[in-house]
Chains A and B, each alone.
Chain A
């Protein structure tokens, strides 16, 4: 039989099989999952994970995953310096910082320091060189009429995606486009998440919204036909926004995508009959004046951005934070932006695939909005003599690490109205402090977050004014400063506090009943191992724990009604100002007081804190404001409002050909700074992805080995006599 394998016909069959297996696999690595990039264009390959964006309309979107795309396509009035820290606000879509005029109730212009400020008027001038991307919405015929304006759905049927429109046009960004965008926020038909919040500040927004509610919606509604009191177009490039009172943080809001310009003709274009049925909407095809434009939006697989040929002149910054030059972050100083031509974001739901493709060089970074290193941290990092460091495989690949402490805080808060744990007496404070000490945040982070987090000493995370490092920055009720580092107070101290609070050995001194605390947790966000860990942590001071798991909607209900004792929550900053964190403890923000989805879920109410907050929120940055912030933090610590908190840290990995990897915690419009060494990428991909062919031969041999006994037995059976 073996001799038959060597027969010419068998050999030929084997060769043909091998050839068939190898056919089509000669163009580069076999495992390349990416389609060919257009020649001559440097393409950045990245991921969107774990779900595609839901909204790409700047009026509707309020998620960082979506902001990643919006901020490359749109230019809101303000932006941030890429490198400088603390975060520095800069004009982006406008020429200069807003010119703010203060007005009293009588309509007179008053001094900026005056106390009777009734309104603040922000005057902004649009950049002269800001121009929209080429788009069919701007295409006009010889008479200047819109090229694509259809009477009914049958006319528009041939157009299924933006690339189907042959005629394109463009125009400079106008002041009215910014005004139009704000009106879209106010239009109740859009259901913008910003409407409720911004209506508190922008004059006339509420009335405008109420008026628009009654307007029939059988087609495009030109919002230019409906004036709003707080908005004024002064000339082609200048506009004014009037807000109630004094609100210095408004400049930060102007750096968010909500305030990006929207051309009315773009809005009209997407209201063409039949467009909605083919997903041709502004929510899926953003149109802006930023460095990139969207050329493909397939939420099932990929989103592709390309350099906007009409993007204004913009250059890489020539200054950075201390240490940036040494890290090579100023190598591209003065170069015209963007530094890449194209960016492809592929949908990647499973971390194993993402991780493998990153290691194979098919993704340039491990993630965009999330580093994705937490779930595969064990593979990426090892504990070496100098602590946690990159594993050998990654280090050999030349992969670099970009840590990112997010301007965010995750915390477990006490319900300050709870009859057992809440309240402002010294006993209750001591009880809460005892629980704070027993919850060893550092150990918790090491075990369950692999050290990717920093135990919070206050509600204000690093990088935000008001965050204090060193001994002066520790919470003295929970930590001591020992050998140049904060050290959690002892369990004995916690037990002592518990005794003073009326619970010696964890039992109520009056009734003898053990103290049992109830923690509301979100089912998806907690594991049984972490619950076991908490049982043990509180068990050390004799306190029992009961968990009340629920999904987010049920948890939210409990928070709104105050039906909770200890709850988990988190906050990601909208802008880099302590006000954006300290308002989490501002009394009127309690859901039980405002009867709304307020941010003060602990229902912390202390008149002194609230007074300080009201003063602080309208003060400009400076020593006076810093002192108020410090006092508010002291009050938070004194009252022990949260059980524990931590500032989440994410780690991003970059392949060696990716440059300018500094993370910006607030702004997402950083794609224009990314530089790719395309030649190095091609070489490394080729080197790292040579296929291992022997398993193909081994499998063929195995198949033959499995079939052969069968064939032999079958042939024997055919030749067998009836007796056999």
Chain B
């Protein structure tokens, strides 16, 4: 397995280079360094000298990919691409366009993201699996058909509706929890209840429907009939026989998400005022802060690759017949 992991990590390098190159190119097609300088300097009295000074200060006064004025390797290294993107491979994220240290910001912001994403993820999986198993227990009945209808209805509702509806009812009308915010002085949990609740409820439709499909496939297998014939209880059949056998497709969809939990959620964090990485990314896009965007895309790519690797490893745990080679 070790060799497999090493090989997968080596495969990741060209993927990361590609992602990096693509992000860099896309960003600079939309925005030139002059545009970035003008955006950062404001709307008034922006002189060409001010733009040049800004570019020089922030390292945007070099050629993009190839520096013909430099000699030797410096033709490649003395460029914006090398300075701003290749350095990411050494986890040197540099500074945002407004001068803040990105590594410090990421390290600070990932915890609030995790504080919301982790309980949403765990509670969500638990609820979805329980609901799906319950529905599977009544497969073919009116209850099953009604549940599928409800799942599809829940899936059809926009995520924004859940957020705004939740805020309106729970926080504004009933005044049970703060409508938004996050601070670590005192009761952090009261800021997490609503976003977690919204995240879980919004995910029930799609999640439970998907799990139901997986479980139904297993429920019709011979081993289930055998278990039932042996006199196993329904709960035992569901949790000890069907669930473990349906784990492979579940893990495929779930484990890959685990590392990305650090990245947070754009919508939830923005609407609930959670100072996590999701809102960090959104703010960076809004203020055209390329330094943050490229760092976040890079981190996201790495986490996704780790997620895929973890998924493969988890298969061996879920099904001992699987061997990684």
Residues of A that sit less than 8 Å from B by CB: 24-25, 29-36, 51, 54-55, 62-63, 188-197, 276-279, 281, 283-284, 298-302, 346-350, 352-353, 356-357, 360, 552-553, 556, 574, 596-597, 599, 689-692, 695-696, 709-710, 713-714, 717-718
A31 touches B175 (CB 8 A): yes
* Minimal Cβ-Cβ distance residue in B for A194: B45
Please name all residues of chain B whose beta carbon is closer than 8 Å to the beta carbon of A32 when the two chains form the complex.
178
A33 touches B191 (CB 8 A): yes
B35 touches A713 (CB 8 A): no
B45 touches A353 (CB 8 A): no
Please name all residues of chain A whose beta carbon is closer than 8 Å to the beta carbon of B105 when the two chains form the complex.
300
Which of B54, B138, B167, B170 sits near A353, CB closer than 8 Å? B167
Contact (A349, B167) CB under 8 Å given A24-B187, A276-B101, A596-B47 = no
Please name all residues of chain B whose beta carbon is closer than 8 Å to the beta carbon of A281 when the two chains form the complex.
99
Whether B323 is near chain A, meaning CB under 8 Å from some CB there, is no
B273 touches A347 (CB 8 A): yes
**In the complex, which residues 92-145 of chain B have their Cβ closer than 8 Å to any Cβ of chain A?**
95, 98-101, 103-105, 108-109, 112, 134, 137-138, 143
Please name all residues of chain A whose beta carbon is closer than 8 Å to the beta carbon of B95 when the two chains form the complex.
276
Whether B230 is near chain A, meaning CB under 8 Å from some CB there, is no
Q: How far is the CA of A191 from the CA of B283 in the complex (A)?
A: 23
Contact (A197, B47) CB under 8 Å given A36-B186, A350-B271 = yes
Residues of B that sit less than 8 Å from A by CB: 31-32, 35, 38-42, 44-50, 53-54, 56-58, 95, 98-101, 103-105, 108-109, 112, 134, 137-138, 143, 164, 167-183, 185-187, 189-191, 233-234, 270-273, 275, 279-280, 283, 286-287
Q: How far is the CA of A83 from the CA of B204 in the complex (A)?
A: 57
Contact (A356, B41) CB under 8 Å given A197-B47, A717-B234, A718-B233 = no
Please name all residues of chain B whose beta carbon is closer than 8 Å to the beta carbon of A350 when the two chains form the complex.
180, 270-271, 273
A191 touches B54 (CB 8 A): yes
Instruction: Known A-B contacts: A277-B103, A349-B273, A350-B273. Give 14 more (CB < 8 A).
Output: A24-B187, A25-B190, A51-B283, A51-B286, A284-B100, A300-B109, A302-B183, A352-B168, A356-B167, A356-B179, A360-B175, A597-B45, A597-B48, A692-B176
Which of A24, A29, A277, A597 sits near B46, CB closer than 8 Å? A597
A709 touches B167 (CB 8 A): no
* Minimal Cβ-Cβ distance residue in B for A283: B99
B178 touches A689 (CB 8 A): no
* Minimal Cβ-Cβ distance residue in A for B37: A191
Please name all residues of chain B whose beta carbon is closer than 8 Å to the beta carbon of A195 when the two chains form the complex.
47, 49-50, 53
11 A-B residue pairs with CB within 8 Å: A31-B176, A51-B283, A188-B53, A191-B56, A193-B44, A276-B101, A300-B109, A353-B272, A360-B179, A689-B175, A718-B234
Please name all residues of chain A whose beta carbon is closer than 8 Å to the beta carbon of B176 when the two chains form the complex.
30-31, 691-692, 695-696
Please name all residues of chain A whose beta carbon is closer than 8 Å to the beta carbon of B101 when the two chains form the complex.
276-279
Which of A29, A55, A299, A710 sits near B175, CB closer than 8 Å? A29
Shortest 6 CB-CB contacts between residues of A and residues of B: A196-B47, A300-B275, A33-B178, A33-B181, A353-B180, A54-B98
Q: How far is the CA of A301 from the CA of B45 in the complex (A)?
A: 31
Please name all residues of chain A whose beta carbon is closer than 8 Å to the beta carbon of B164 when the two chains form the complex.
352
Q: How far is the CA of A713 from the CA of B143 in the complex (A)?
A: 10
A196 touches B98 (CB 8 A): no
B100 touches A279 (CB 8 A): yes
B53 touches A692 (CB 8 A): no
Please name all residues of chain B whose beta carbon is closer than 8 Å to the beta carbon of A196 when the two chains form the complex.
45-47, 49-50
B178 touches A553 (CB 8 A): no
Please name all residues of chain A whose beta carbon is closer than 8 Å to the beta carbon of B171 when the two chains form the complex.
31, 356
B44 touches A62 (CB 8 A): yes
B104 touches A353 (CB 8 A): no
B181 touches A346 (CB 8 A): yes
Which of A35, A347, A352, A696 sits near B179, CB closer than 8 Å? A352
Q: How far is the CA of A322 from the CA of B131 in the complex (A)?
A: 69
Q: How far is the CA of A40 from the CA of B57 in the complex (A)?
A: 45
A49 to chain B, nearest CB (A): 11
A247 to chain B, nearest CB (A): 15
Q: How far is the CA of A669 from the CA of B47 in the complex (A)?
A: 28
A36 touches B45 (CB 8 A): no
Q: How far is the CA of A30 from the CA of B112 in the complex (A)?
A: 21
A696 to chain B, nearest CB (A): 7
Please name all residues of chain B whose beta carbon is closer than 8 Å to the beta carbon of A284 when the two chains form the complex.
100
- The interface centre, meaning the residue of A51, A192, A597 with most chain B CB atoms within 10 A of its CB, is A597
B291 to chain A, nearest CB (A): 13
Q: How far is the CA of A190 from the CA of B40 in the complex (A)?
A: 13
Please name all residues of chain A whose beta carbon is closer than 8 Å to the beta carbon of B286 when the two chains form the complex.
51
* Minimal Cβ-Cβ distance residue in A for B288: A553
Q: How far is the CA of A690 from the CA of B271 in the complex (A)?
A: 23
- The interface centre, meaning the residue of A353, A357, A710 with most chain B CB atoms within 10 A of its CB, is A353
* Minimal Cβ-Cβ distance residue in A for B275: A300
B275 touches A191 (CB 8 A): no
Contact (A191, B185) CB under 8 Å given A51-B286, A349-B273, A353-B180 = no
Please name all residues of chain A whose beta carbon is closer than 8 Å to the beta carbon of B283 when the two chains form the complex.
51
Please name all residues of chain A whose beta carbon is closer than 8 Å to the beta carbon of B48 when the two chains form the complex.
596-597
A301 touches B186 (CB 8 A): no
A666 to chain B, nearest CB (A): 15
B50 touches A714 (CB 8 A): no
Please name all residues of chain A whose beta carbon is closer than 8 Å to the beta carbon of B167 when the two chains form the complex.
352-353, 356
